[in-house]
Chain A
Amino acid sequence: MITVTINGKKITLEKQVTVLEAARSAGIKIPTLCHHETLEAFGGCRLCLVEIEKIPKLQTSCTIYITDGMVVHSETERVVNARKAMLEFLLINHPLDCPYCDKAGECDLQDLAAKYGPTTGRFAEGKRTHPESYDDPVIVRNMERCISCTRCVRMCDKVQGASAISMVNRTSKTFVEPFSGKRYDCEYCGNCLSVCPVGAIMSRMYKHKYRPWYIDKNINTICSYCGVGCSVTAQVKGDSLVRVVPEMGKGLNKGLLCVRGRFGYDYVNSSARLKTPLIRRNGELQQVTWSEAFKYAADRLRDIKERYGSEAIAGIAGGRCANEDIYIFQKFIRGVLGSNNIDSIANFSYAPAQRFFERIFGQGVTANSIQGISNSDGIFVVGGDPTSINPILGLQIRAAYQQGIPVITVGDTPGLKRFATCMLKPNPFTETALLVSLLSELKVKKQFLGGNSSFERLINNISALSMKEVEDICGLPTDNIASAVNMLSNMTNPSIVIGKDILQRTDGHINLLLLSAIMYLINGRVYLLSEFPNEQGLVDMGCLPDMLPGGRPIEIESFKKRYEEIVGLNISSTHGLSLSGIIENAYTGKIKAIQIIGENVLSNIPDSNYVGKAFSNLELLIVQDSLMTETAGLAHVVLPSLSWLERKGSYTNLERRMQFMGKAVEGDGLEDWRIISEISKMLSFDMGYKGLEDILSEIARVSPLHKDITYNDISGDECIWPYKGEPLRHGVSLEGMDVPDIGSLLKKPAKDRVYAVFDKELFHPDSLSRKSAAISSISPEPCSRVNRALADRLSVSEGDYLNISTDAGSIEMAVKIDEDIPENVVMIPNNFEGKGIFNIMQWKLNPVLKCPVLDGNEVKLKKAEARS
């Protein structure tokens, strides 16, 4: 126990904290500027000076630690004068352009000057000048206002890990500049501007449109971009959105955001927003009224059901829809239309991977806290770059590395380049051989835990591959693999971060088994990266052909009965078609009608040409979406749904945390669940919901997992697995799990061919962000990446365009040189219409996971003709 006296108040604390923290814990205010809770101490602004008895000089309370018996004064004349002096110093070179500055009203310097500062200035000489910088599309810098607190630099270096900016110059000419000189050319997380106490680094998105006193309402919601589910606050004036910002310390993101969450929210006001229902007439989509649209959709569905039977109808749900929408959707497709053909992109690897792990380790095994990553003693990353797919999760890995925790990465993870203790970069698509050899070595080094004897038997039956044997196949030196094995075998509670790229492979199911085996051996905690904010929700709400809400297998009679009783509809117990099955059956003409909510299937599934053909065979395609997409462009009925920020609802993130989305503004359209209930009513089943509460309470009854859950529970920060409900306890079954044939992995990849590899990049991992003007201004067009040797061979240089073709098609794309990728690949994103990797891929499925596979796409490359 340490007792200190601050301003006469005795404070007893357990830990040795700074004087500032001690004071704040007792409600004593000491002004600060360079201090920030999320950053390491700096001690530069000297605003927090206090007087400490027995120490002659004033001390900065943010850097000095309490000792027992210390007596501190923060309001003596000496302290007050020093504080005033520091403010006077800060203001002499400050432009005092407060009326023009967007920070006015929430500027720390302004507030402190008003409270403690001198009222008149004595500095008579000219101030430093520095023109405002508009070099950047989304960030504006006004370095006249900078007070050199370095909060932005510390944020960028230590928390974001991007190290993109630095203080430059000395003396009062010090200011902040990106290393690139002009544009930031960084990760654009904007976390630097969050911590700037003055108006020196700000978002351009609300320049001169925002003043804190304009704000009528602050609405808490969840970012709609990825599976992390960061908390953000939407600020509203009247009925228009002013800006979306994080709140420091809040949510699982603790106030940090990535570029998408920070700047990407403007897609809500995109010109691609759908405003009225549309029906295809004479080959063209034409505006109609809601009632016409409902009637049309209902009539057509009824007609198809009568003519072809329920099995000819299918539903596809999207990972950005709220739980409430997708719950109603599966109920509608199953109960009202009578078809179990309901699925989503989640079933392309997220859901099967989760199910696989749960079969071995029990339900909920993937529900792990993101914050927990930096508490593990090792991290193994495979199948994707977490810093671009789930950036805030990626920050945890960077933080862990900076604390000295070993990080092993497999494959192309550019965002972890400076944060990996061991990087394994196998030849393209040879990860399976690598995983087998890692497993083989670990089997020797680690003891079986003995908890799961059937799985241990299975692991033992996997034939070994030595490091030497895979050296050639993977193109990895043995000592590179050996050092990974050593690190892995020393870990006791590691995190295993798995991206989809390792699963959407011809051998994806084998990889899954190998990863489970490794995870079992090293006692790992698994994290499944997820591109969508509610991918887990799709699983938990039963948007699967064989699972009811709460992960209940539909073929189990008691589960089915309970469902039927509560929803008041009868359903079939046969498994429906999975997403790939739905598309294949549409292609062959067996599926006649598809209803889609919130998913741009055409753009988001390879191969786009195949999907396009399948969809154009349909008699009825209903698309509910808030944006006009490639898929909606093919629809017979388009129903505008409300966008994120315009409706309430809940999301379940990759940790299986349920979070509430608030409604900030009105919009054109209806909630998906409302659209579905209206159609349902016309099909003579009145769902009868008055509002979201009714839906959630039904979910809480249908899904034992969500038992008794209410919005009250979800609105807090901590609605985490297993909520109040009960996870499904089921016996571990390894039935149907086959030991892979290792022999087939021993083929060496052909060196002379070039393969296309799917690149999920930070700015546009999929097609939503391109609807954001802000993100598009940062990254206006898709870019492929090749390494220098390949570029030289093709005689292309950075900025040139590349013609990339396969039997399935060809695309043209700008090219970037990246030294860190192998010579025989070209990295291609899938984010811009008609110009993605999915446009040049063949329809090919993994035999077990039934997902499209991304490997083995050989491409022909040539320099594209000069472009205008």
Chain B
Amino acid sequence: MKRALLRNIDNTNSADINEYIKISGYASLLKALEMKPSDVIDEVKTSGLRGRGGAGFPTATKWAFASMDPKFPKYLICNADEGEPGTFKDRPILEKNPHQLIEGMIISAYALSAEYGYIYLRGEYPNACNILNNAIKQAYGKGYLGDNISGKGVRFHLHVHQGAGAYICGEETALIDSLEGKRGQPRIKPPFPVNEGFLSRPTIVNNVETFANIPYIMEIGGEQYAKIGSPQCPGPKLFSVSGHVKTPGVYELPMGTTLREIIYTHCGGIKDDKKLKAVIPGGISTPILPADKIDCPMDFVSMPRYGSMLGSGAVMVFDESTDLVKVCLRAIKFFEHESCGKCTPCREGVGWMRAILKRICDYNGRETDIEHLLEVSENISGNTFCPLGDGAATVVQNFIKHFRGEFESKIKI
């Protein structure tokens, strides 16, 4: 497949606006500016694009909500917090193809009548910050940003805001609070950001990859786009593959490519030709799958049928030598560290799970610990304020569900 999102990735100068323009960059913007804003939204609707941030929410639906809200100004935010462990798929866009993101944001802003945009950038991506700021400067220089974009009287200003290293600030409402200068914690929904987001105004938050798809949709048209990959959630998808594979990295493949194909065809199979033990298919929050479940098509609709989720498309591969109890402990430590502290079950419960897992890992586990762990996780599940805490419970539940023996053997010794 021809790459759409990382098209000029091999060009060492790909972040330069002139290189981007050479491969018909910003042509989609000019095309869009000739259309009515509502037609742009319709085109995205036809494309069937779903948000790439993890939840797979239909992008055009979100846009329609925001554009229906009569309040102005409206704000456009790019979620570039990329904090989910295992996920590094937005990074090549940010660092190698920033103009496609910027172009996507300008088109979206035009469609939504938003005049101000922010890129909320993961604090640990200082390089990307420089690259983006430079790219934005270039875009201003070429008249693609500013008060009169390409002489069409369209106004859009774009700023980069660096996060301070909190995973929760990837959650869109916590992101907005953080952007407002507050402590980043999720807000009560409703009201949703599309109605009351940044500074209480209608706000559209989309993932980096989501925005990067917009110029491509404009280029080939929604109908054509809808034919790529899985029919129910079409389009190209970036997979960041890590762990025990021969060639880890970011792969752009059609939505619905199976896990098996990703691991064995694109990533060259398991490192040192060991046996595969398990895969976390979509970032640490998505349920782990045992080796026999890897024929699942990787898309938002199919994955739940296989007992997991597409999430951010961050594939983590574990070979037969992996101590999964340790992996589980490591994952829970992450969640504990990142629990924002807002709600009781996540704030207190995740640390408790970590404590139990720790003693199991240290061979101090008690016979009742697995049940105990499950009980605590169940008390968290479904009762937290936001999906972060739920994610932690899911991890524990699924590790035990598929690999209970590993836990038991650590306790029995």
Residues of A bordering B, CB below 8 Å = 41-47, 49, 56-58, 63, 81-82, 85-86, 88-90, 92-93, 122-125, 147-148, 166-167, 169-174
Bound CA span A82–B166, Å? 28
Number of A-B contacts (CB under 8 A): 87
CB distance from A88 to the nearest CB of B (A): 7
| CB-CB nearest in chain B for A173 | B341
- Chain B residues near A45: list those with CB within 8 A: 343-344
* A–B pairs, 12, beta carbons within 8 Å: A43-B343, A44-B344, A44-B385, A45-B343, A46-B344, A46-B383, A46-B385, A56-B382, A63-B188, A86-B379, A166-B183, A170-B337
User: Judging by beta carbons under 8 Å apart, are A44 and B379 in contact?
Assistant: no
- Chain B residues near A124: list those with CB within 8 A: 355
Q: Determine which of A89, A170, A174 lies in contact with B379 in the assembled complex, contact meaning CB atoms within 8 Å.
A: A89
- Chain B residues near A85: list those with CB within 8 A: 345, 379, 383
Cβ of B237 < 8 Å from any Cβ of A?
no
Take A86-B345, A88-B379 as given contacts and tell me if A171 and B183 are in contact as well, using a CB distance cutoff of 8 Å: no
Q: Mark B351-393, 1 if CB is under 8 A from A, else 0.
A: 1100100000000000000001000000100111100000000
Q: Which residues 141-193 of B have a CB within 8 angstroms of A?
A: 166, 168, 183, 188
Bound CA span A622–B243, Å? 91
User: Judging by beta carbons under 8 Å apart, are A170 and B339 in contact?
Assistant: yes
User: Judging by beta carbons under 8 Å apart, are A171 and B344 in contact?
Assistant: no
Q: Which range contains the number of B residues in contact with the other chain?
A: 20 to 34
Bound CA span A125–B348, Å? 12
Bound CA span A81–B338, Å? 26
Bound CA span A582–B269, Å? 102
- Chain B residues near A167: list those with CB within 8 A: 183, 341
User: Judging by beta carbons under 8 Å apart, are A174 and B344 in contact?
Assistant: no
Cβ of B196 < 8 Å from any Cβ of A?
no
CB distance from A48 to the nearest CB of B (A): 11
Bound CA span A147–B345, Å? 12
Bound CA span A147–B338, Å? 18
CB distance from A382 to the nearest CB of B (A): 31
Cβ of B347 < 8 Å from any Cβ of A?
yes
| CB-CB nearest in chain A for B187 | A43
User: Judging by beta carbons under 8 Å apart, are B344 and A90 in contact?
Assistant: yes
CB distance from A93 to the nearest CB of B (A): 6
User: Judging by beta carbons under 8 Å apart, are A46 and B337 in contact?
Assistant: no
- Chain B residues near A42: list those with CB within 8 A: 188, 342
Cβ of B15 < 8 Å from any Cβ of A?
no
Bound CA span A89–B376, Å? 9
- Chain B residues near A170: list those with CB within 8 A: 166, 168, 337-341
Take A88-B379, A90-B348, A148-B347 as given contacts and tell me if A43 and B385 are in contact as well, using a CB distance cutoff of 8 Å: yes
User: Judging by beta carbons under 8 Å apart, are B347 and A86 in contact?
Assistant: no
- Chain A residues near B345: list those with CB within 8 A: 46, 85-86, 89
CB distance from A663 to the nearest CB of B (A): 44
CB distance from B254 to the nearest CB of A (A): 32
Bound CA span A82–B345, Å? 10
| CB-CB nearest in chain B for A147 | B344
- Chain B residues near A49: list those with CB within 8 A: 383
Bound CA span A148–B185, Å? 13
User: Judging by beta carbons under 8 Å apart, are B341 and A169 in contact?
Assistant: yes
- Chain A residues near B350: list those with CB within 8 A: 171
Q: Mark B314-355, 1 if CB is under 8 A from A, else 0.
A: 000000000000000000000011111111110111111001
| CB-CB nearest in chain B for A172 | B351
Q: Which residues 53-86 of B have a CB within 8 angstroms of A?
A: none
| CB-CB nearest in chain A for B346 | A171
Take A170-B166, A171-B337, A171-B351 as given contacts and tell me if A82 and B383 are in contact as well, using a CB distance cutoff of 8 Å: yes
Q: Which residues 185-236 of B have a CB within 8 angstroms of A?
A: 188
CB distance from A79 to the nearest CB of B (A): 11
Take A41-B188, A122-B372, A171-B351 as given contacts and tell me if A82 and B343 are in contact as well, using a CB distance cutoff of 8 Å: no
CB distance from A478 to the nearest CB of B (A): 28
Bound CA span A92–B385, Å? 19
- Chain B residues near A44: list those with CB within 8 A: 342-344, 385
- Chain B residues near A172: list those with CB within 8 A: 339, 341, 347-348, 351
CB distance from A402 to the nearest CB of B (A): 12
User: Nearest 3 A-B pairs (CB), nearest first?
Assistant: A174-B341, A85-B379, A89-B348
CB distance from B137 to the nearest CB of A (A): 33
- Chain B residues near A123: list those with CB within 8 A: 352, 355
CB distance from B277 to the nearest CB of A (A): 30
CB distance from B352 to the nearest CB of A (A): 6
| CB-CB nearest in chain A for B168 | A170
User: Judging by beta carbons under 8 Å apart, are B341 and A148 in contact?
Assistant: yes
CB distance from A83 to the nearest CB of B (A): 10
- Chain A residues near B341: list those with CB within 8 A: 148, 167, 169-174
Known: A42-B188, A170-B341. 20 other contacts (CB 8 A): A42-B342, A43-B343, A44-B343, A45-B344, A46-B343, A46-B344, A46-B345, A58-B383, A63-B188, A85-B345, A85-B383, A86-B379, A89-B345, A125-B355, A148-B342, A148-B344, A169-B341, A171-B338, A171-B351, A172-B339
Bound CA span A169–B337, Å? 10
Take A43-B343, A58-B382 as given contacts and tell me if A89 and B349 are in contact as well, using a CB distance cutoff of 8 Å: yes
CB distance from B411 to the nearest CB of A (A): 15
User: Judging by beta carbons under 8 Å apart, are A171 and B384 in contact?
Assistant: no
| CB-CB nearest in chain B for A89 | B348
- Chain A residues near B339: list those with CB within 8 A: 170-172
User: Judging by beta carbons under 8 Å apart, are A89 and B340 in contact?
Assistant: no
- Chain B residues near A147: list those with CB within 8 A: 344
CB distance from B241 to the nearest CB of A (A): 30
Bound CA span A187–B337, Å? 34
CB distance from A16 to the nearest CB of B (A): 12
Take A166-B183, A172-B347 as given contacts and tell me if A57 and B382 are in contact as well, using a CB distance cutoff of 8 Å: yes
| CB-CB nearest in chain B for A153 | B183
- Chain A residues near B382: list those with CB within 8 A: 56-58
| CB-CB nearest in chain A for B390 | A57
- Chain A residues near B347: list those with CB within 8 A: 89, 148, 171-172, 174
Bound CA span A414–B324, Å? 59
CB distance from B242 to the nearest CB of A (A): 25
Bound CA span A122–B336, Å? 19
Take A44-B343, A63-B188, A169-B341 as given contacts and tell me if A92 and B348 are in contact as well, using a CB distance cutoff of 8 Å: yes
- Chain A residues near B351: list those with CB within 8 A: 171-172
Bound CA span A123–B348, Å? 11
- Chain A residues near B349: list those with CB within 8 A: 89
CB distance from B49 to the nearest CB of A (A): 27
- Chain A residues near B183: list those with CB within 8 A: 166-167
- Chain A residues near B355: list those with CB within 8 A: 123-125
Bound CA span A44–B186, Å? 10
